[in-house]
Amino acid sequence: MIHLKNGSEIAKMGLAGKILAKTMKEVSGSMVAGKSRLIDLDELANKIILAEGGIPSFKGYRGFPASACISVNDRVVHGIPDEYVVQEGDIVSLDFGVIWDGWHADSAWTFPVGEVSDNARRLMNVTKESLYQGIARAKIGNRIGDIANAVQTYVEKNGYSIVRDLVGHGIGQNLHEEPNVPNFGKPRKGPVLKGGMTFCIEPMVNEGTARVLTLDDDWTVVTEDGKLSAHFEHTVAVTADGPLILTSQE
């Protein structure tokens, strides 16, 4: 069942989103090539979220051991922060979830470490724009398939692959709710969008093949061919005034 949120509930998700956006800004700004360990970035994220009165959504979720998912280069999503030190030229996906007064927000952003290759920068730019192409379709009367198709069309016309094994999701009092929000599909298919729906749109885009593998830690998803992947995500509410981004960093 898809739970429609009222204005007060969406506002609480927005407060979670503000904490998340601050966390994203501060953690990404702290990354230094040759110095920053992933576990230190995770510790900082946890500290900021708690200091702002939030709760990390991910910590302990289905046994996940950290407050942040941090995925570097060929790691697509769900990377467990470890001792790895970020290097010049890496691309790093920071993925955070925050609970405020029982309501969740979830967002991911892929950042360059120092100077990155032209290919890496283009991959990030296309993935980010595909997210906004999808968000633009999050309007009352459209369907989930309209969002999915907009993302897929933009990514594929730019020569990249959409991960199909993982999709976006509804969100609210639970981190994952109905409906699923794929990044691929046909327009005018799937649930009709109604005011009060809240969900995460999150393109995961690969430089090479769309195929992915899960590592032995049962969490970290990597590209099958070892090529780069980028991940961008916002929590969005469908409103009478159009899509409302609840995790905006602006």
The range of the structural domain enclosing residue 28 comes to 7-245
Please state, in angstroms and rounded to a whole number, the distance separating the CA atoms of residues 125 and 162: 14
Please check whether residue 69 is in contact with residue 79, taking contact to mean a CB–CB distance below 8 angstroms: yes
123, exposed or middle or buried, with CB in 10 Å at 0-12, 13-18, 19+?
Answer: buried
pLDDT of residue 182: 98
Please state, in angstroms and rounded to a whole number, the distance separating the CA atoms of residues 231 and 168: 11
* CATH number for position 125: 3.90.230.10
Q: What tens-digit pLDDT sequence spans the chain (250 residues)?
A: 999 999 999 999 999 999 999 999 999 999 999 999 999 999 999 999 999 999 999 999 999 999 999 999 999 999 999 999 999 999 999 999 999 999 999 999 999 999 999 999 999 999 999 999 999 999 999 999 999 999 999 999 999 999 999 999 999 999 999 999 999 999 999 999 999 999 999 999 999 999 999 999 999 999 999 999 999 999 999 999 999 999 999 8
250 part of a folded domain = no
- The predicted model scores a pTM of 0.98
184 part of a folded domain = yes
Distance (Å) of CA 61 to CA 64, 67, 72: 5, 9, 21
Residue in the structure block whose two tokens are 């090479």: 208
**Which residue type is seen at 112?**
P
pLDDT of residue 80: 98
87 part of a folded domain = yes
pLDDT of residue 250: 83
2 part of a folded domain = no
Task: Specify the number of domains making up the chain.
Answer: 1
SS3 152: helix
234 part of a folded domain = yes
pLDDT of residue 191: 98
113 part of a folded domain = yes
17 part of a folded domain = yes
1 part of a folded domain = no
